A = this chain, B = another copy of it.
Amino acid sequence: MKFSEFSDIALPKIENKMKEILALTKIDQDTSLNKMLSYHLGLGEEEPNQPSQGKRIRPLILLLTTETAGGKWENALAAAAAIELLHNFSLIHDDIEDQSEYRRGRLTLWKKYNLPLSLNAGDALYALSFVCLSDLQRTFPDNISFQAYQLLSLACLSITKGQHKDITFEKAPLVSTDEYLEMIEGKTAALLANSTKLGALLAESDKIKQDNYYYFGKNLGLAFQIYDDILGIWGNPKETGKSVATDLYNRKKSLPILYGLAQNQTFKNMWEKEISVDSIQALSSQLKAEGAYEYSLRLADFYTFAAVKSFHQSEPTGPMVEAIEELIENLTNRKS
């Protein structure tokens, strides 16, 4: 089955599950918390347009892995919705921590409302994610539902540890590429790793198969983030929708830049001076000349290879194998 075909069938069911859970935030007649969360999730009545919703990669890959590991995706819907709610809780808090004003072309929650209400709305989404997961009990034995809770809890811990590193890095004078990879392992890859592992768990797979799915998701997450870092510097603005070399301009400590700084050559000298719109082209060319592009691309390709290997080691079966292969291709051969 094509990924887009599956997505067309499954997405409305994920959205319905999320809406059902979001309804729990209504306090008598007061729907203000519900409205805030619906806005952030792009599920509000005013603007149910696709781009504001994000790609919903994590819940979709969770459902697909449940199928390829031998289960039924319909049974895993509560877990898929829970993962997406959890991901979005972290986005709400990230936007506050980074003082980001826009996300997906719209005002971030804390800019549209205010910081105290939005911080708390993030906490509510966190709670909802766990409440949502408890629906698994309708279909699965208690030991499976309990393990799902454990997985989600550990994923949260990894995300917050990764985020702690990320915030610390902003002020650190020197960050090594190894430290950076550890950071994205928590911040980006942990949730994808636990999504695919959760998918396998809900197919009642054995531990070895669950581990293969975990490493599939983890390596895919790492590859995805590094391609993202490459696009942030050398992506085509027409395709990424961002301005040229946006990460250089914003002095973001992404992988290629950290690699460049570690070379301690011309790029580092240029970086330490002021970065202007005029100098940006020379800066990105110099970074490439010092090997940062090739280093990053090779590493991303390696993680893609490792992801595919882990996926096939799990001995996936059924029509959704095709959809996952297509998704891997989309995520790792991106232009935007």
Instruction: Name A residues whose Cβ lies closer than 8 Å to a Cβ of B.
Output: 24-25, 27-28, 30, 32-33, 90, 93, 96-98, 115-117, 119-121, 123-124, 126-128, 130-131, 133-134, 137, 141-143, 145-146, 149-150, 152-154, 156-157, 159-161, 163-165, 167-168, 182
**When A124-B157, A134-B153, A153-B131 are in contact, do A27 and B165 touch as well, CB less than 8 Å?**
yes
The reply to whether A164 and B32 contact each other, CB–CB distance below 8 Å, is yes
A130-B153, A182-B27 as given contacts; A160 in contact with B123, CB under 8 Å = yes
Please, which residues of chain B bring their CB within 8 A of the CB of A33?
Answer: 160-161, 164
Measured between beta carbons, the chain B residues less than 8 angstroms from A137 are 146
| Nearest residue, chain B, Cβ from A147 | B142
Please name all residues of chain B whose beta carbon is closer than 8 Å to the beta carbon of A124 when the two chains form the complex: 157, 160-161, 164
- Residue of B at shortest CB range from A149? B149
A187–B183 CA distance with the chains assembled, in angstroms: 34
With A24-B157, A130-B130, A142-B142 already in contact, 16 other A-B pairs whose C-beta atoms are closer than 8 Å? A27-B161, A27-B164, A27-B182, A30-B165, A33-B164, A96-B115, A117-B167, A117-B168, A120-B163, A123-B160, A123-B163, A127-B159, A127-B160, A128-B157, A130-B149, A133-B153
Between A and B, 19 residue pairs with Cβ closer than 8 Å are A32-B164, A33-B164, A93-B120, A93-B123, A96-B115, A97-B116, A97-B119, A116-B167, A119-B119, A120-B160, A123-B126, A123-B156, A123-B159, A123-B160, A124-B164, A126-B156, A130-B152, A134-B149, A134-B153
